[in-house]
Amino acid sequence: MNALVPYRRLTIKIGSALLVDKTGRLRAQWLANLASDLAALKTDGCEVVIVSSGAIALGRGLLGLSAVALTLEQSQAAASAGQIALSQAWAEALGRHDIVTGQILITPNITEERRYYLNARTTIATLLGLGAVPIINENDSVATAEIRYGDNDRLSARVATMIEADCLVLLSDIDGLYTAPPAKDPDARHLPEVRVITPAIEAMAGGAASHLSRGGMTTKVEAGKIATQAGTAMIIAKGTEDHPLKALTEGGRHTLFYPAESRAQARKRWIMGSLALAGTLSVDAGAARALLTGKSLLPIGVTRVTGEFERGDAIAVLNPDGIEIARGLAGLDSDEARLVMGKRSDAVQELLGTSNRAALIHRDNMVLVGAKEESHELG
Ligand code: GLU
């Protein structure tokens, strides 16, 4: 069975031990083969975002630090030297398939603070829209001990949920989750799927890490919690052999973690549940009707803006009687909204000088309040 067939947008995390051998050298042939798997996925219409480890492992070799236990300063220096080599390796490997790569280095404030988050998400979406493959890693050379993920398992889960990937694939040196760490327990059994991450599942992960990567099975299961709770499936598969993604499409062994709910449901729950409202938009009767049929909210239908909000903040939509009919994430900040309310889209474009931000609330970022749709989608 093709394990990747249900998915259109994948985040694929590649561990250091796959990309870099024990002497600190790039496994170039392995990467070349992986690149052809990725090119095949793209030809099938899949969007792919890579989270690649390996900067520190490569940089160690380059700086002659292979044999020593690295201090924090040395590993940050190694990341700095290694990241250049890593990006170059990706650019060359995918370049052979005429695929352009874009590098994005991330620290937790980028995935956790909404303004950075929205920007990073837009950059990644733009790269994907242009047919490129974003290559992401932690910005290890500047991240401080307090502000870093430290492992690319959880980082990749945050990236996957940020870009609303359908599935996160963790390629590592093990073909999935076992009932106990298989290196220690000969009776350990492989689990082909995990429906829900229970404390018993977490206990199975143990603490084993491989010689190069920071994350063991524990951070992978933590990544699974982040991903599945946001509606993204996760697959753990072995990447050490050649063509690991092709192997997954041909029935290769792996563990599938099921998403807790669909992404649309998770998003709507998030919009409805967890945010304080920063303002309101009052709309005319025509816009109110349009929203009920599933349209985005355009500036022309807006008659009044209250509150101070930024793009990405949660706001309410009020009908001409002042009754809340929807909630959503603002596509513009409140000053821009005041500037463009009541205006047609072409005038809006002229005022804002951009073409892709015409909606005040995009329908994907909106939940109708009290509508039938909501009760059965959220119920
Ligand atoms: N960001 C690290 C690197 O590129 C790897 C972290 C990990 O292995 O999870 O070297």
Domain ranges of the chain: 9-260, 268-368
**CB distance 59 to ligand 1 below 6 Å:** no
| The two domains 9-260 and 268-368 share their CATH topology (first three levels equal) | no
pLDDT at 377: 35
More confidently predicted of 321 and 348:
321
pLDDT at 320: 95
Closest CA to ligand 1's atom 5: 53
Type of residue numbered 146: E
**CB distance 24 to ligand 1 below 6 Å:** no
Domain 9-260 has CATH 3.40.1160.10: yes
**Distance (Å, rounded) from C-alpha 60 to C-alpha 79?**
8
pLDDT tens digits, one per residue of 289-320? 999 888 999 999 999 999 999 888 889 999 99
Least confident range from 26-30, 119-123, 157-161, 369-373: namely 369-373
pLDDT at 373: 40
**CB distance 219 to ligand 1 below 6 Å:** no
Stated as kind and residue range, the H or E segment containing 289 is: helix 285-292
Closest CA to ligand 1's atom 2: 53
pLDDT at 378: 32
**CB distance 53 to ligand 1 below 6 Å:** yes
Type of residue numbered 170: L
Most confident of 70-79, 88-97, 292-301: 88-97
Q: CATH for 268-368, among 3.30.420.10, 3.40.630.30, 2.30.130.10, 3.20.20.70?
A: 2.30.130.10
80 CB neighbour count, 10 Å cutoff? 17
**CB distance 55 to ligand 1 below 6 Å:** yes
pLDDT at 357: 62
**Distance (Å, rounded) from C-alpha 352 to C-alpha 340?**
8
Report the candidate in 123, 217, 171 with the shortest Cα–Cα distance to residue 11: 171
CA of 15 to the centre of ligand 1 (A): 7
Q: Which of 20, 53, 107 maximizes ligand 1 atoms within 8 Å of its Cβ, making it the mutation to test the pocket?
A: 53
